[in-house]
Chain A
């Protein structure tokens, strides 16, 4: 049992972090913040999840989104995928364990992982549309978003969704507005089995250790923590009973990292591109200064006149 999150106080609380705590801001440079906040994390223990979707409901409730009523298409997922109105989604997969010959029902709560090295932020061209606080929360700032969808291309987990209504990108905020006043994310608050817990990243790792030991003692020898180093670690982590094969949990990537294509696009292409264009323009200017314009001379005009007059002589 992890100590449950406290209920909100009835007195007004000042936010515990603000723009002064940004460590990254898309398409801009930020000064290093004066203080380092304690890193927070959400831990999702898939072995404890009963698939009740209370987290989804709490998420809709807190974020005041209005997902349309969908149609049943034969799967437990509802809606079938993340949408601009559904920031988190229970994904269900039925897996035949080849070792035990037993069917395992693997349920994973999908959503933003709040990477320490966020691909969305790297790809974003709009200044300040994506920000990262020193506590690890990666948040979208809608008034700065231009709706280009570059974050979708940057994200190694396929999380952001563009709204067809306001043409901006949406994803889980880790309830930054709740965390700012000492609360935990709505999903963690609503989870009836403590499959979702929230605290500092260190606390969450410790708690995960206890859970992993417990799972191992029950025969899940490959139980482990999913905190992928390819993206610098994440601020949403999973306890998986089969941590050696995360893909079986509805395609959780085994070694996620920002795609090399995105790195090339946002790295060498960006800098080399502008340099090449600057040099090309410079060469033009230099050529004009040194060689001067290529002007038609009076002699050229005379030649042309002779040529055409020869023509009219011929006509006579």
Chain B
């Protein structure tokens, strides 16, 4: 169970401060393609969602091009997120401690996360973001295909299209909300962004926010050094 949290590429580099590898180059590129797609989808989608945001279509060279490019970016996002899903789903499986962590969410918000259980690679909030994104993207791509008149007009009735676009817009609002949570958390919890840019975090960050993960990494590197190693003092 805990082994799911630790990947072979995640290495600890002792020093001052300790540096811990968190994301591979592949995962980071995958993440930023997804991020760019999601932001472009949000901007182009909002342009067609509310008249007061129609000006956003100017970013894409006008309404016609916005209408044309939005679904294609959606296709990119779908496959890009699929890559992220395959990379991260195991580490995001829900565990017993996650419920306890959520119950102490008030402490977490007040920057007293010591009162919550130690966290593995992802905390319950991150896992909720992950699963919400996964479910919402499936809803958005399927309802989006129904509304993609250029290629799929003849496969559905007009009433089905009406329902699809209503679901699409509601799911879009929710996913932007989830994105706000994701984006804000990365800013609020300082030291997080380097995980997705340079791929590494400091040992202190891992100790503070993902202590169980750090312990697992340490345990593993001890095992790797062989059974000759004596039991360390902690």
Q: How large, as a class, is the contact surface on chain A? A: 35 or more
Question: Contacts of A272 on B, CB cut-off 8 Å?
Answer: 173
Q: Does any Cβ of B come within 8 Å of A75's Cβ? A: no
- Within residues 73 to 130 of chain A, which ones have a CB less than 8 A from any CB in chain B? 125-127
Q: Are B181 and A308 in contact (CB under 8 A)?
A: no
Q: Given A147-B64, A280-B181, is A307 in contact with B203 using a C-beta cutoff of 8 Å? A: yes
Q: Does any Cβ of A come within 8 Å of B9's Cβ? A: no
Number of interface residues of B (CB under 8 A): 66
Bound Cα distance from A215 to B169, whole angstroms:
49
Q: Does any Cβ of A come within 8 Å of B218's Cβ? A: yes
Q: Does any Cβ of A come within 8 Å of B149's Cβ? A: yes
- Within residues 264 to 316 of chain A, which ones have a CB less than 8 A from any CB in chain B? 264-265, 269-270, 272-274, 276-277, 280-281, 284, 287-288, 291-298, 300-315
Which residue on chain B has the smallest CB distance to residue A260? B162
Q: Given A273-B49, A277-B180, A294-B188, is A301 in contact with B202 using a C-beta cutoff of 8 Å? A: yes
Bound Cα distance from A300 to B190, whole angstroms:
13
Majority SS at the chain B contact face = helix
Which residue on chain B has the smallest CB distance to residue A284? B184
Q: Are B208 and A296 in contact (CB under 8 A)?
A: yes
Majority SS at the chain A contact face = helix
Contacts between the two chains (Cβ within 8 Å), count: 180
Question: Contacts of B234 on A, CB cut-off 8 Å?
Answer: 306-307, 310
Q: Given A126-B63, A269-B173, A311-B222, is A296 in contact with B204 using a C-beta cutoff of 8 Å? A: yes
Q: Does any Cβ of A come within 8 Å of B25's Cβ? A: no
Q: Are A294 and B229 in contact (CB under 8 A)?
A: no
Bound Cα distance from A297 to B225, whole angstroms:
30
Q: Does any Cβ of B come within 8 Å of A207's Cβ? A: no
Binds B, one of A30-38, A51-59, A148-156: A148-156
Q: Are A307 and B158 in contact (CB under 8 A)?
A: no
Q: Does any Cβ of B come within 8 Å of A222's Cβ? A: no
Q: Are A308 and B165 in contact (CB under 8 A)?
A: no
Q: Given A265-B162, A296-B202, is A125 in contact with B16 using a C-beta cutoff of 8 Å? A: no
Question: Contacts of B131 on A, CB cut-off 8 Å?
Answer: none
Q: Are A265 and B166 in contact (CB under 8 A)?
A: yes
Question: Contacts of A302 on B, CB cut-off 8 Å?
Answer: 204
| 12 extra A-B contacts, CB within 8 A, seeds A146-B67, A280-B177, A304-B214 | A27-B54, A125-B47, A127-B51, A146-B66, A261-B163, A265-B162, A269-B169, A276-B173, A301-B203, A308-B18, A314-B230, A315-B222
Q: Does any Cβ of A come within 8 Å of B96's Cβ? A: no
Which residue on chain A has the smallest CB distance to residue B221? A311
The smallest beta-carbon distance between A155 and chain B, in angstroms, is 8
Q: Does any Cβ of A come within 8 Å of B155's Cβ? A: no
**Which one of A127, A284, A304 contacts B207 once the chains associate, using CB atoms below 8 Å?**
A304
Question: Contacts of B232 on A, CB cut-off 8 Å?
Answer: 310-311, 313-314
Q: Are B158 and A152 in contact (CB under 8 A)?
A: yes
- Within residues 133 to 148 of chain B, which ones have a CB less than 8 A from any CB in chain A? 147
Q: Does any Cβ of B come within 8 Å of A46's Cβ? A: no
Q: Are B48 and A125 in contact (CB under 8 A)?
A: yes
Contact code string A248-271 (vs B, CB < 8 Å = 1, else 0) = 000000000001011011000110
Question: Contacts of A126 on B, CB cut-off 8 Å?
Answer: 54, 63
The smallest beta-carbon distance between B12 and chain A, in angstroms, is 6
Q: Given A261-B162, A269-B170, A273-B170, is A147 in contact with B67 using a C-beta cutoff of 8 Å? A: yes
The smallest beta-carbon distance between A124 and chain B, in angstroms, is 9
Contact code string B12-29 (vs A, CB < 8 Å = 1, else 0) = 101011100000000000
Which residue on chain B has the smallest CB distance to residue A301? B204
Closest 9 CB pairs of A and B: A304-B203, A146-B63, A301-B204, A300-B204, A314-B232, A27-B51, A273-B173, A284-B184, A261-B162
Q: Are A296 and B191 in contact (CB under 8 A)?
A: yes
Q: Does any Cβ of A come within 8 Å of B2's Cβ? A: no
Question: Contacts of B208 on A, CB cut-off 8 Å?
Answer: 296-297, 300
**Which one of B50, B53, B205 contacts A296 once the chains associate, using CB atoms below 8 Å?**
B205
Q: Are B161 and A153 in contact (CB under 8 A)?
A: yes
The smallest beta-carbon distance between A20 and chain B, in angstroms, is 21
Q: Does any Cβ of A come within 8 Å of B7's Cβ? A: no
Bound Cα distance from A269 to B162, whole angstroms:
13
Question: Contacts of A206 on B, CB cut-off 8 Å?
Answer: none
Q: Given A301-B17, A308-B12, is A288 in contact with B188 using a C-beta cutoff of 8 Å? A: yes
